[in-house]
Structure 1
Amino acid sequence: MVSLSPGTLLIADPFLKDPNFARTVVLLCEHQDTKGSFGFVLNKLFDQQLNDLVPEILINTIPVFYGGPVQIDTIHFIHQQPELIKGGFEIIKGVYWGGEFDTVVSLINNGKLDLTKIKFFIGYSGWSSGQLENEMNDKSWITSTGDISIIFEEEEQNIWKQALKNLGSNFAIMANFPIDPLLN
């Protein structure tokens, strides 16, 4: 099991029933024993595009992901372009959380941003101090080291299964479990 720290992937147990997190993968961006944890669901597509939420964006094909149930009136992003987007926090080597949003809008509108290297979220996933540890003890999550190919996978429906498969054959078999074990 990977320790909880920025860059850890939280892979939902196949039988986790919470509708916010069933069959999801969360990228942990921050974890502090005394303050709690923060991250984004990587594989839950939101029902609006970025330009629907940010009218200044001129491109209408940029997806937004449901980052989690906390503050769903906020937009966040992760990216792989620190040379263009200043002010981000490096989560794992080559992956940054946040930065200057006005710069992002300008780069998008001018066609200067590689849209395969940035991901937008509405809301986030948050845990108070000790809450995530309790969920880990309850076996709600399987942990993995952050992997750029998982984090920026364009086919969101593949992320959960691929994250399990990357852990080896013992976990790969779980990717085909039904949500309800009674259907097994």
Structure 2
Amino acid sequence: MSDLRAGMLLVATPAIGDPNFAETVVLLLDVDDDGGSVGVILNRPTGLAVSEVLGGWGEVVDEPEVLFQGGPVETDGALAVALRRSDDDGVLGMRAVVDRLALLDLDTPVELVGDEIDGLRIFAGYAGWGAGQLDREIEEGSWYVVPGIAPDVFRSDTSTLWRDVLRRQPGDLALYSTRPLDPGLN
């Protein structure tokens, strides 16, 4: 799909078949020319403190200072999404995603980039789709595709993120924010 790009959000619909993604909001980090995509789930905090796994990064991440479950792929690895203080693309250890959002290489010493960061969230694992897979899921009605904003990534309370993202959408899409978790109970 031509409107899929880094920085967009995927909001799971009730039609999603994979329980890994029920009620999730996924930030797209990369969409390649062949139709493959990578993103992270924004609203699945774990109980594991970042400092227990990644030492000094625990002092830099936003509240809550825990790892987030980024997705079902490679859950023993971590991706860090940072909000850069400036639009400078030349910051060591950071690769621009969109606007001031960047992927941060966690092998970079905290001391070198700590002053360059306005926000940081670390995800265990990621969500990934092969060529054409995400397009098919969208066509099947598994995802709403909407614009993202940086505060979505760094919220301290993500429990209402799914509803809040839908609520701010124009037109009928905002109405879906009021649906019950189990539409059969309606």
Q: TM-score range by the shorter chain?
A: 0.7 to 0.9
Q: 1:63 aligns with which of 41, 66, 70?
A: 66
What is the correspondence of 1:150-169 to structure 2 with a 5 Å cutoff?
150-169=152-171
Normalising by structure 1, we get a TM-score of 0.84
1:117-158 Cα distance to aligned partner (Å, 9 max, x none): 111100000011111011011011111122112222221112
Greater shift in the superposed pair: 80-89 or 39-48: 80-89
* 1:113 positional shift: 7.2
Cα deviation digits, residues 83-134 of structure 1 (max 9, x gap): 6952322222111112353323x479xx8576x6111100000011111011
Amino acid at match of 1:92: V
1:18-29 matches, cutoff 5 A: 18-29=18-29
Cα gap change, 1:113 to 1:32, in 2 (>3 Å):
closer
SS in structure 1 of the partner of residue 84 of structure 2: coil
Task: Name the SS for the 2:34 alignment partner.
Answer: coil
1:139 has 2:141 as partner: yes
CA distance in 2, matches of 1:169, 1:37: 27
Alignment of 1:11 onto 2:14: no
Alpha-carbon RMSD:
2.7
Whether 1:87 aligns to 2:93 is yes
Q: Structure 1 vs Structure 2: percent identity of aligned residues?
A: 30
Q: Distance in 1 between matches of 2:2 and 2:132?
A: 17
Give the unaligned 5+ runs of structure 2. Answer: none
CA, structure 1 residues 165+65, in 2 after alignment: closer, same or farther (shift >3 Å)? same
Instruction: Figure out how many residues of one structure are paired with residues of the other and give that number.
Output: 180
Distance in 1 (CA, whole Å) between partners of 2:78 and 2:127 is: 12
